Chains A and B, each alone.
Chain A
Amino acid sequence: MPEENIVRTKEVWKVYQMGKVEVEALKGISVEIKAGEYLSIMGPSGSGKTTFFNMVGGLDKPSSGKVYIDEVDVAQLDAYELAWLRCRKIGYIFQTFNIIPVMTALENVTLPMTFAGLTTDESRDKGVELLTKVGLGDRVTHKPFELSGGQQQRVAIARAMANDPAIILADEPTGNLDLRTGREIIELLREMNDDSGVTIISATHDMKMISVSDRVVWIRDGQVEKIERREDLDIAVGTIDGKEEA
């Protein structure tokens, strides 16, 4: 695995103005994420996890400090470059799936390819290929409401992979799924990570996620509480899995 940083944050602070009170959501977070890594960001709600996650994905800008994606300072990018970044570099997966309801599974997957300038034929072929890869080869023309939650999330994963991104950003990808479907989705993400070397960053409080993550960043009160590598986690995860199976 290359030792190149795909995302790097330096002393990131985020301060929100709530009426007259200033709320510090992030208090100086510095994290380095390597290319090809499977990283989970864990933390209770209100810990600043989501805020930090949005920073890493270029969806929010820090009050102070720097976020580098592929060694480029996100704060310096204009709207056009940010769109380019979102289209080509980052694939997003949402807790609520966010499949565009008016489009079929295939059209959802081909939309980012259309933005990236691929022709209709090219994007259709690639879209079918991606949907087959996530196990929906026989459902390409289905509308979102004809698909189950797990299937919708598979479409979302195929869509996130559309332009061969360097990073997949998954916000609670299993939050709206049952235990088994959630596990399948996690396995699929791990597979994508192994096959194409795409960096996966997910914000979650799903303990199932830990067993596949290379590293887990724990956030509490806007600060990094601890960063654990998988080797250090294995034993703890075993018991959690055991409980779930029982």
Chain B
Amino acid sequence: MSESEFVAYRAAKIGKQIVLPLSKAVEISLKGMSIRFWRSLLTVSLIVLAIAFLVYILATAAIVASLVRLDDPQINIILQRSGVEAQEIGAGGQGSLFAQISHKQYWLIVLSLMVCVVGITNAMLMSVTERFREIGTMKCLGALDSFIVKLFLLESSFQGIMGTAAGIVLGVILAILHTLVVYGSSSFRVFPGLTVLSIAGISLFIGTCLSVVGAILPAVRAARMEPVVAMRVEE
């Protein structure tokens, strides 16, 4: 058998023999997060803040919109005083969530989410640099590039889910406090539970996506690392 034949034969024979089951990958990435708890917390806090801001703006708008729909003369006065557009008030059922968000607020949301992604990328890049020996060792043990990417993206999506969940809670609490202070207890009477729930759902999706997007570049960088870095002695 010639050399090239042998290589071809071997490639055919080994097929998909290097594997990393998802359950194992989940286990490893969860463990990695728990041991590096404080670093994870830093990454998570970025998402918490960005999502809390997003949810706060959206939930406040939703509550104000339902107050507009309420069309209570007493509340209409407060609404007018706090700058809600006159044509919206008293239109009877016309008050929509999006009418309550200004262009400036849209920009702020977009900017904060972008800052969040950049922050996550930065934190994950640092985490990759910290773990270069660990990654190199895994590659020496036979890990494929895709395993490393999988581990980092899983870790990042867990962080995303946790951070987003915390951010949603924080954002909703802030929105309720805000409307309570400005509009009094009547804002509770018309609390748009279903709308806030769908805002939470959308935010969870956005937060997790952002976290994963932010981790793609660091994960690919980690995966491209040569196994020989595991041999380096200097810290």
Tell me, yes or no, whether A2 is within 8 Å of chain B by CB.
no
Tell me, yes or no, whether A83 is within 8 Å of chain B by CB.
yes
Residues of A within 8 A of B145 (CB): 79
Residues of A within 8 A of B227 (CB): 59, 86
B7 in contact with A114 (CB, 8 Å): no
Q: In chain A, residues 122-169, which have Cβ atoms closer than 8 Å to a Cβ of chain B? A: 159, 163
Known: A77-B7, A171-B231. A159 touches B18 (CB 8 A): no
Q: Mark A225-243, 1 if CB is under 8 A from B, else 0.
A: 0000000000000000000
B233 in contact with A112 (CB, 8 Å): no
Q: In the bound complex, what is the Cα–Cα distance between A78 and B233 (angstroms)?
A: 27
8 Å CB contact of B141 from A76, A115, A172: A115
Known: A72-B10, A86-B141. A94 touches B231 (CB 8 A): yes
Residues of A within 8 A of B20 (CB): 114-115
Nearest B residue to A95 via CB reads B233
Residues of B within 8 A of A94 (CB): 137, 230-231
8 Å CB contact of B21 from A59, A79, A84, A114: A114
A112 in contact with B7 (CB, 8 Å): no
8 Å CB contact of A72 from B3, B137, B142: B3
Q: How many residues of A contact B (CB 8 A)?
A: 38
Tell me, yes or no, whether B14 is within 8 Å of chain A by CB.
yes
Q: In chain A, residues 32-52, which have Cβ atoms closer than 8 Å to a Cβ of chain B? A: 50
Q: Which of A11-19, A96-104, A205-213, A216-224 contacts B (4 or more CB under 8 A)?
A: A96-104
Known: A92-B141, A94-B137, A111-B138. A116 touches B18 (CB 8 A): yes
8 Å CB contact of B143 from A73, A76, A115, A159: A115
A100 in contact with B18 (CB, 8 Å): no
Tell me, yes or no, whether A88 is within 8 Å of chain B by CB.
yes
Nearest B residue to A68 via CB reads B3
Residues of B within 8 A of A54 (CB): 228, 231
Main secondary structure of the interface of B (DSSP, over half): helix
Q: In the bound complex, what is the Cα–Cα distance between A50 and B10 (angstroms)?
A: 29
Tell me, yes or no, whether B86 is within 8 Å of chain A by CB.
no
Nearest A residue to B144 via CB reads A83
A50 in contact with B231 (CB, 8 Å): yes
Known: A72-B7, A83-B143, A115-B143. A60 touches B228 (CB 8 A): yes
Tell me, yes or no, whether B72 is within 8 Å of chain A by CB.
no
Q: In chain B, residues 124-171, which have Cβ atoms closer than 8 Å to a Cβ of chain A? A: 133-134, 136-145, 147
B231 in contact with A112 (CB, 8 Å): no
Nearest A residue to B36 via CB reads A102
Nearest A residue to B30 via CB reads A102
Tell me, yes or no, whether B181 is within 8 Å of chain A by CB.
no
A84 in contact with B137 (CB, 8 Å): no
Residues of A within 8 A of B147 (CB): 115
B138 in contact with A87 (CB, 8 Å): no
Tell me, yes or no, whether B74 is within 8 Å of chain A by CB.
no
Tell me, yes or no, whether B19 is within 8 Å of chain A by CB.
yes
Nearest B residue to A73 via CB reads B3
Nearest A residue to B226 via CB reads A59
Residues of A within 8 A of B17 (CB): 84, 88, 116-117
Interface centre among B28, B35, B139, B141 (most CB of A within 10 A): B141
8 Å CB contact of A76 from B7, B137, B233: B7
Residues of A within 8 A of B7 (CB): 72-73, 76-77, 81
Tell me, yes or no, whether B32 is within 8 Å of chain A by CB.
yes
Q: In the bound complex, what is the Cα–Cα distance between A117 and B147 (angstroms)?
A: 14
A59 in contact with B231 (CB, 8 Å): yes
8 Å CB contact of B18 from A50, A83, A102, A172: A83
A92 in contact with B140 (CB, 8 Å): yes
Nearest B residue to A111 via CB reads B141
**20 extra interchain contacts, Cβ-Cβ under 8 A, other than A83-B143, A98-B137, A98-B230?**
A72-B6, A72-B10, A76-B4, A81-B7, A81-B10, A83-B18, A83-B144, A86-B142, A88-B142, A95-B231, A100-B134, A102-B31, A102-B35, A102-B36, A111-B138, A111-B141, A112-B142, A114-B20, A116-B18, A117-B18
Q: List 13 A-B contacts (CB under 8 A).
A: A50-B231, A59-B140, A59-B226, A71-B6, A72-B6, A83-B18, A83-B139, A83-B144, A84-B14, A87-B18, A102-B35, A115-B143, A116-B18
